[in-house]
Amino acid sequence: MISKDKSIDIKTVNYIADLARIALSQEEAEILSHQLKEILDFIDRLKEINIEDMPATTHILEVKNVLREDILRPSISSAKVLDMAPLKKDNFFVVPKIIE
Amino acid sequence: MELNKLTAHQLLGLLKEGVIKSSDVILALKERIDVIDSQINAYVRKNEKIELSYVQNGPLQGLPVAVKDNICTLDLNTECCSKILEGFKPPYDATVISKLKSQGAYIFPLKTNMDEFAFGSSCENSCFGPAHNPWNLEYVCGGSSGGSAAAVAADEAIFALGTDTGGSIRQPASFCGVVGLKPTYGRVSRYGLIAFASSLDVIGPITKDVYDSALILSIISGYDPYDSTCVNLSVPDFTQNLSKDIKGIKIALPKEYFIEGLDKDVEQNIKEAIEVLKKLGASFTEVSLPHTKYAVATYYIIATAEASSNLARFDGVQYGLRINSFEGDSSLLQMYKTTRAKGFGEEAKRRIILGTFALAHGYYEAYYLRAQKVRTLIKKDFEEVFKEFDCILTPTSPTAAFKIGEKIREPLKMYLSDIFTISANLAGIPAISVPCGFTKKGLPVGLQFLAGYFREDMLLQVAYNYEQNTIWHKMKPKI
């Protein structure tokens, strides 16, 4: 699916947009393909650096395993949560039918 | 007396003496907004009801705070200036809001304008239209916390909250001539901040002077069990040591920030600021942060990758906008794709797609993992410098504000305007922007200080000493 030379052609843009669940018009895909190519060319400068043996930074403060006491505490009611939903029924979010 | 023009600490003095009531301050702001905000557009949803009779006891005595549209406020619309969150009323307050309320602050019901989901450096990516720079309405106010900075600069707010992922507090503060503080990552709880890039985002104050910055930071900082990245450290009263002198303080000047492309007027103002600090007894040494030129590239991989993941939740099911079907296709997948296509603006789509790309199979190692490793190098650069120096001084931005429309069609050019602010987020260190003069065109210039982890006290002390020996924080736009 993704082209070998790692440029970002329209086919790739559409494939990625599909993964991201965003519908794109043909025109949007064309503009994005140019813009992303330019951005990725710029980002390619990261390839100059020797990063062998360099650990990846996932958390800046190296905080690990933050746990809390396993006790009940109040939370927002499901009614309040459902109030925010564009479509609901009884105690559920409603989505388009997914099983025939 | 025009109360809207005063700082928080000046007003608190008057409130304490009983000379004024907080409702007088709120009324002054309301009148100011009614007169000028149609030109500035610092606030969104301007029809929200302002409570004039708000009375609150507590240290902040009912002082109003302007809040960026991506920080959750109970039962008060919080939309990230995005169509996809239209009508969203959070069922809870962000921790920073609870803390401010418990200290007696009034949460101003008009929220401040911003780039959609904080994606931008000019406030032009807002679904409510751009906020304008109070110093010149044809110019951007910076972003993404542009509305917060413009509101404070134009005396439409006493102080404001912003958020900073790659410079979004400091750059607009610099463009609008006010003070913007990005705390250390983990100093302030992110609970209730609608996430952009979780390993970079922080909430911080935008204020009229350094004292207010210290005052507000002292209130919003501190441990929060609702945010596991928020550290359990005691919070000092940051206003305590501001006036301590800075004799013997060692300041580093990274040569990578004084480069071609740095505007001549900006450079001149920074040089003059250095002279002021020298007279106050600070010493300066040139240093190198060798990986600076990789910061923007690293940032736009990490930030967009995290954003693509964080924004997956906006799918038309749980909140906000939903578009049920498209051209007869009423499948779940089509609902997702159409809702997101109509709900997200151009820049949000671009970043989600770039981030999805960086995380996609076959690209993850070449982009995301590589960027995280370069991030380690950028962090180490700073750690080296802070072994020897108390703080670092740089311009906040290579230029003053640019014209509205100037960069909006060229994303890469726009991204490069964050070149001096991004590294602090990648390293997680605190940084502050304070006004340090004007360009020949009359636009404000910002001076940035950076310090080691949790050394906001150092930042504020140096910034306060500088500010008190200059006039820039007292200048007001003629609007």
Chain B residues with CB-CB distance to A46 below 8 A: 294, 297-298, 301, 370-371, 374
- What is the tens place of the pLDDT at every residue in B202-212? 999 999 999 99
Q: Where are the domains of chain A?
A: 10-48
Asked if A71 is an interface residue toward chain B (Cβ–Cβ < 8 A), one would say: no
- Confidence (pLDDT) at A6: 53
Closest CB from B185, B297, B377 relative to A61: B185
- What is the tens place of the pLDDT at every residue in B123-160? 999 999 999 999 999 999 999 999 999 999 999 999 99
Q: How many residues does chain A have?
A: 100
- Confidence (pLDDT) at B117: 97
- For residue A24, the chain B residue with the least C-alpha distance is B341
Q: What tokens does B258 get?
A: 């004084």
Residue B33: phi and psi, rounded to 5, are -65, -45
Asked if B367 is an interface residue toward chain A (Cβ–Cβ < 8 A), one would say: yes
Q: How confident is the model at residue A4 (pLDDT cuts 50, 70, 90)?
A: very low
Minimum distance, in Å, between the CA of residue A100 and any CA atom of chain B: 11
- Tell me the fold of A10-48: Histone, subunit A (1.10.20)
Q: Tell me which DSSP letter residue B202 carries.
A: E
Which is nearest to B112 in space by CA: B180, B53, B52, B62?
B180
B213 catalytically annotated: no
- Confidence (pLDDT) at A65: 81
B22 catalytically annotated: no
- Confidence (pLDDT) at B192: 98
> Is pLDDT above 90 for A5?
no
What is residue B445's three-state secondary structure?
strand
Minimum distance, in Å, between the CA of residue A4 and any CA atom of chain B: 10
Closest CB from A42, A46, A80 relative to B374: A46
- Confidence (pLDDT) at A3: 45
Minimum distance, in Å, between the CA of residue B121 and any CA atom of chain A: 16
Q: What tokens does B152 get?
A: 């404070």
Which is nearest to B472 in space by CA: B133, B245, B29, B135?
B135
B145 neighbors B153 (Cβ within 8 angstroms): no
- Confidence (pLDDT) at B197: 96
Q: Which mean pLDDT values do the consecutive 10-residue runs of chain B (479 residues) have?
A: 95 95 95 97 96 82 97 97 96 97 96 97 97 98 97 98 98 98 98 97 98 98 94 94 97 93 95 98 98 96 97 94 83 94 96 95 91 97 98 97 93 89 98 98 98 98 98 95
Query: Given an 8 Å threshold on Cβ–Cβ distance, is A86 in contact with B374?
Result: no
Q: Give start and end residues of each alpha helix (H) in chain A.
A: 10-19, 26-43, 78-83
Asked if A72 is an interface residue toward chain B (Cβ–Cβ < 8 A), one would say: no
> Is pLDDT above 50 for A2?
no
Which of A22, A39, A93 is the best mutation test for B, with the most CBs of B within 10 A?
A: A22
Higher pLDDT, A24 or A100: A24
- Confidence (pLDDT) at B200: 97
B53 catalytically annotated: no
Surface of A (23-52) touching B: CB under 8 A: 23-24, 28, 32, 35-36, 38-39, 42-47, 49, 51
Minimum distance, in Å, between the CA of residue B233 and any CA atom of chain A: 13
B131 neighbors B41 (Cβ within 8 angstroms): yes
Residue B299, H or E segment = helix B295-310
What is the spatial distance between Cα B136 and Cα B317, in angstroms, rounded to a whole number? 42
- Read out DSSP for B222-279? S--TT-TTS-------TTTTTTS--TT-EEEEEGGGS-TTS-HHHHHHHHHHHHHHHH
- Confidence (pLDDT) at B282: 98
What is the spatial distance between Cα B293 and Cα A42, in angstroms, rounded to a whole number? 11
- Confidence (pLDDT) at B406: 93
B367-377 residues labelled b (16+ CB within 10 A) or e (exposed): bbbbbbbbbbb
For the domain B3-251+387-474, what is the CATH superfamily, name and number? Amidase signature (AS) domain (3.90.1300.10)
Tokens 């990648």 correspond to B426
B281-295 residues labelled b (16+ CB within 10 A) or e (exposed): ebebeebebebbebb
Out of B82, B122, B126, B144, pick the active-site residue: B144
- What is the tens place of the pLDDT at every residue in A51-97? 888 999 988 887 778 888 899 988 889 999 898 899 999 999 999 98
Q: Where are the domains of chain B?
A: 3-251+387-474
Which of B227, B354, B382, B422 is the best mutation test for A, with the most CBs of A within 10 A?
A: B354
Surface of B (240-299) touching A: CB under 8 A: 291, 293-294, 296-298
Closest CB from A16, A43, A86 relative to B300: A43
| CB proximity list for B119: less than 8 A, separation 6 or greater | B125, B144, B196, B307, B347, B348, B351
What is residue B92's three-state secondary structure?
coil
- Confidence (pLDDT) at B261: 84
What torsion, rounded to 10 degrees, do the Cα atoms B319, B167, B379, B272 define? Answer: -170
- Confidence (pLDDT) at A7: 61
